[in-house]
DNA sequence: CCCGGAACCTGAAGGC
DNA sequence: TGCCTTCAGGTTCCGG
C-alpha cells in the first residue's frame, strides 16, 4: 500500500528515467481511473506534452508538463508503476503511457482503485491536503497546534490527509510504536513530551522507509520491478503475534476507524 | 462541524 | 477439496 515513502521512492526513480520524455499516447484498459476527463480528451491534452519535472504531495505523484498543465496519479491500495517491458501482457495493467523514445510506463492496479487527473492547476486535486511531515517547517509546535484541535484517536488523526499529508496505516503504527503511544489515545490528550517524541519518530520512520526504497507489503513495486525493503524493519505493522523488539510481548491488533492497528500492549499503554 | 458508514474493487484467507 | 463469506485498504460521498 503506497504511502509517502513509497510514492517518494517512485518519484525519485522516475526522475532519473522519464523526465524530459514526451508522451506519444495513452492506452486505457480501465477508463474509470480518469477522474476529470473522457479518454478522448485526456489523450488529446496529453499527447506531445513533455515531462518537465516530477514532484510528490502526500501520496499523490505529480508530473509537470511542458504546456503548464499537470498529470496527477494516485496509486491507492494496489497500484504500482512499471517501466519494465516484461509486463505488457500482465492482466492487471490498467493504463499504458507511451513515450517518444519508445519506452512505456505501465500503471498496474489489481483492485482498480487508482486515480488519474489531468488539470491546469494541481490545487484542484491536492489543494485540501495538510502539511508535508518532512518539510523543514513541520516542527514539533506545528504538530502540537494540529493535535490540540482533534479529539479523535491519534492514529486516525495521523492518517487524515487533510490534517497531515502522506501518512497511512503502516507508518502511523510504526511512528506511534516508536514514540510509545497507544494508537487509540485521543489526539488532544497527548502531553508535550509525547508530541515531541511523535514528531521525532514520524521523521525518522518516514526517512528510514524512503532510504529502504519503500515497503513491499501487498502489490507495491518500484518502477524497475524491484521490491522495497522497508517492510523488513517494521516493528509492529503487519507483525501480529510476533514478539515486540523492545520487550518481547506479542504484537496485537485492534480496529481503529475500521482499520487494523498494530501495537505492543506493554510499550504502548492506554494511560501513559 | 464532526463522526460513522457505505461504496469502490479483487485476491487472499478463513469457515464449514 | 471446494464453495461461500469476510477482510483489507485510501479516498470520496452521504447521512445523522
CB of A223 closer than 8 Å to CB of A81: yes
Torsion of CA A164, A219, A22, A212, to 10 degrees: 60
By the 10 Å C-beta count (0-12 exposed, 13-18 middle, 19+ buried), A85 is classed as: exposed
Task: Enumerate residues 6+ apart whose C-beta is below 8 A from A140.
Answer: A195, A196, A199, A200
Cell numbers at residue A248, please? 518481547
Query: For the segment A19-45, what is each residue's pLDDT rounded down to a tens digit?
Result: 999 999 999 999 999 999 999 999 999
Residue A108 a catalytic site member: no
Residue A59 a catalytic site member: yes
Task: Indicate the CATH number of A4-126 among 3.90.110.10, 2.40.110.10, 3.20.190.10, 3.40.50.300.
Answer: 3.20.190.10
Query: For the segment A212-264, what is each residue's pLDDT rounded down to a tens digit?
Result: 888 777 677 888 888 877 777 788 888 888 899 999 999 998 888 888 899 99
φ, ψ for residue A74, nearest 5 deg: -130, 130
Taking the model in full, what pTM does it have?
Answer: 0.94
Cβ of residue A32 near strand B, that is under 7 Å?
yes
- Residue ranges of domains in chain A: 4-126, 140-263
Residue A8 a catalytic site member: no
Q: Look at A257 and A1; give whichever has higher pLDDT.
A: A257
Q: How far is CA A221 from CA A15, A57, A80, A84, A102, in A?
A: 16, 19, 6, 11, 22
Percent of chain A with pLDDT over 70: 97
pLDDT higher than 70, residue A85:
no
pLDDT higher than 90, residue A179:
yes
The confidence score (pLDDT) of residue A272 equals: 59
Q: Rounded distance, CA A15 to CA A12, Å?
A: 5
The confidence score (pLDDT) of residue A19 equals: 97
CB of A138 closer than 8 Å to CB of A131: yes
Q: Which of residues 145-164 of A touch strand B (CB under 7 A)?
A: 149-152, 156
φ, ψ for residue A216, nearest 5 deg: -90, 60
CA of A248 to C1' of C12 (A): 40
Percent of chain A with pLDDT over 90: 71
pLDDT higher than 70, residue A87:
no
Cell numbers at residue A233, please? 524493519
Domain A140-263, CATH: 1.10.8.50
Amino acid at each position: 500500500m503506497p504511502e509517502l515513502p513509497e510514492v517518494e521512492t517512485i518519484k525519485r526513480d522516475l526522475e532519473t528515467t522519464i523526465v524530459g520524455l514526451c508522451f506519444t499516447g495513452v492506452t486505457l484498459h480501465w477508463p474509470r481511473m480518469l477522474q476529470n476527463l473522457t479518454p478522448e480528451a485526456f489523450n488529446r491534452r496529453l499527447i506531445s506534452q513533455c515531462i518537465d519535472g516530477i514532484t510528490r504531495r502526500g501520496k499523490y505523484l505529480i508530473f509537470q508538463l511542458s504546456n503548464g498543465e499537470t498529470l496527477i496519479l494516485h496509486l491507492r491500495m494496489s497500484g504500482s508503476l512499471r517501466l519494465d517491458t516484461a509486463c505488457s501482457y500482465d492482466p492487471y495493467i490498467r493504463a499504458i503511457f507511451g513515450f517518444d523514445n519508445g519506452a512505456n510506463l505501465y500503471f498496474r492496479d489489481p483492485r482498480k482503485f487508482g486515480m488519474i487527473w489531468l488539470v491546469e492547476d494541481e490545487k484542484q486535486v491536492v489543494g485540501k491536503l495538510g502539511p508535508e511531515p518532512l518539510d523543514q517547517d513541520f516542527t514539533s509546535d506545528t504538530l502540537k497546534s494540529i493535535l490540540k484541535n482533534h479529539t479523535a484517536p491519534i492514529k486516525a488523526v495521523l492518517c487524515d490527509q487533510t490534517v497531515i499529508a502522506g501518512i497511512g496505516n503502516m507508518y502511523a503504527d510504526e511512528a506511534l510504536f516508536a514514540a510509545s503511544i497507544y494508537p487509540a489515545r485521543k489526539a488532544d490528550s497527548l502531553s508535550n513530551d509525547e508530541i515531541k517524541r511523535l514528531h521525532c519518530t514520524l521523521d525518522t520512520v518516514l526517512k528510514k522507509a524512503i532510504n529502504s526504497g519503500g515497503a513491499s507489503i501487498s502489490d507495491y513495486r518500484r518502477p524497475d520491478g524491484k521490491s522495497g525493503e522497508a517492510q523488513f524493519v517494521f516493528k509492529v505493522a503487519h507483525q501480529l503475534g510476533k514478539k515486540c523488539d523492545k520487550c518481547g510481548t506479542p504484537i496485537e491488533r485492534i480496529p481503529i476507524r475500521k482499520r487494523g492497528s498494530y501495537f505492543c500492549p506493554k510499550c504502548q499503554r492506554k494511560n501513559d
